[in-house]
Structure 1
């Protein structure tokens, strides 16, 4: 149980609804910021504006998966209100207050460090990333089917990056009968790709590997599918970029060349928000419970 714990949930998409439900069931007191348009509210859950919250009583702040943008703004699809998380807000919280976010950026890293508050990046955990790769894979397959005129079976697919998502995506498309090649840099990743029965290539050779592609799936959050690479792709190639915003593709040049390029960094929240929210909720409950135990032990 999370009785007595006061938590601020700031912004987010449909995944946060499952997180809210889970925390409410365990008797936490929740302040929802950026949820004015949310109809159903559980017992012990209060919709508030960010300037109405008494942050001196907040034990934890839960941000959506993307965290904030570089100006501190938090996405709020259930509100038209602009919500900005600042260092001043964090300084009002108790010293033990922990900030939970899916991922982070230089802005969020900076304000949590300046305020001396602990920042937990959920997607750096292997369990969260692996579980989350399941709806990501399903969403990627859905997009590939919707935006092509050929079957995945028999098509030539390149997956860029062999992280948790890249590995799951490559395996799924392989099982669907695609001819899958995977680009990586680390020698151990090249060996793993070979072991999986897929065709490995070094990312330095990307320009040579895209000349026959039907689908290019990028998971690397750096500009890797640049203009020089896109220039060498067939015009019917579909690019699906799964990296966090702004992705790793030159979308402007892809459009100029007539190549369809789709940025899809939050597929789990689109194709399976309930399942994706349950994954986050379960992990958050575990982490919040551990924090409570540690605090009690230090008293």
Structure 2
């Protein structure tokens, strides 16, 4: 139970609604910022303006999955309010105060460091990433079907990256009958790809490997599908970039060449927000109890 804890939840998409329900059911008191356009009534939950929050009374904060922008601004889907997270705000918080975010950036990393507050990046956790790979795979399959004129079965698919999401996507497309090749850099990943019964290739060979593909699925959040790579692709190739913004594709050149390239980060929040939200809610409930409640009680 999270009885007595005061939690601020700022912005986010439909996944946050399941997080709110989970934490409220555990008896936490929740202040919502950036949800005034949403019709949401739940016991122990109040909608507030960012400027009215007394952060000295807050025990932790939950940011949107995307965290903050490079200037500290937080994107609010259900509000027009402008919210900027600053060091001045964090230094008001108690010493055990914890910041929870999906992903982070240099601004947020440095902000937490300067204020000496704990920063937890949920998507760097294996459990969250693996659970989230399930709706991500389903969303990728949905997009591949919607934006092609051929079946996945029998098509040539290249998956770039063998992280937790890349592995799940490669396996799923293989089971749907696609001829899957996977690009990676580490020798152990190339060995794993072989063990999975798929074709491995080193990413330095990417330009040669895309010459016969129908679908390219990128999971690497760095510019890897560049103009030189896109120039070698067949004109009908579909590029699905599911890496975090801004992705790893030269979308300008893809458009110039007439190749359909789609940036689709945060697929779990689009195709299965309830499932994705429950995953985050369960993990957050455990973390807050272990990290915040116990540290607060020990003081």
Please indicate the TM-score interval, normalised by the length of the shorter structure: over 0.9
Distance (Å, rounded) in 1 between the aligned partners of 2:7 and 2:181:
45
**2:119 matched to 1:119?**
yes
* Matched residue, 2:152: 152
Secondary structure, aligned partner of 1:120 = strand
RMSD: 0.9
Distance (Å, rounded) in 1 between the aligned partners of 2:13 and 2:251:
24
Matches within 5 A, 1:108-257: 108-257=108-257
Distance (Å, rounded) in 1 between the aligned partners of 2:73 and 2:132:
24
* Matched residue, 1:33: 33
Distance 1:296 1:92, change over 3 A: closer
Distance (Å, rounded) in 2 between the aligned partners of 1:57 and 1:141:
45
Secondary structure, aligned partner of 1:255 = helix
Deviations 1:116-174 (A, max 9, x none): 10000001110000000000000000000000000000000000000000000000000
Secondary structure, aligned partner of 1:134 = helix
* Matched residue, 2:51: 51
User: So what's the TM-score if we normalise by structure 2?
Assistant: 0.98
Q: Unaligned stretches of 5+ in structure 2?
A: none
Q: Unaligned stretches of 5+ in structure 1?
A: none
Distance 1:296 1:111, change over 3 A: closer
Distance 1:40 1:293, change over 3 A: closer
Matches within 5 A, 1:256-295: 256-292=256-292, 294-295=294-295
Distance (Å, rounded) in 1 between the aligned partners of 2:88 and 2:249:
35
Aligned residues: 299
Q: Is the 8 A contact 2:60 2:292 kept in 1?
A: no
Deviation of 1:40 (Å): 1.6
User: So what's the TM-score if we normalise by structure 1?
Assistant: 0.98
Deviation of 1:41 (Å): 2.1
Deviations 1:7-42 (A, max 9, x none): 000100000000001011111010101001121221
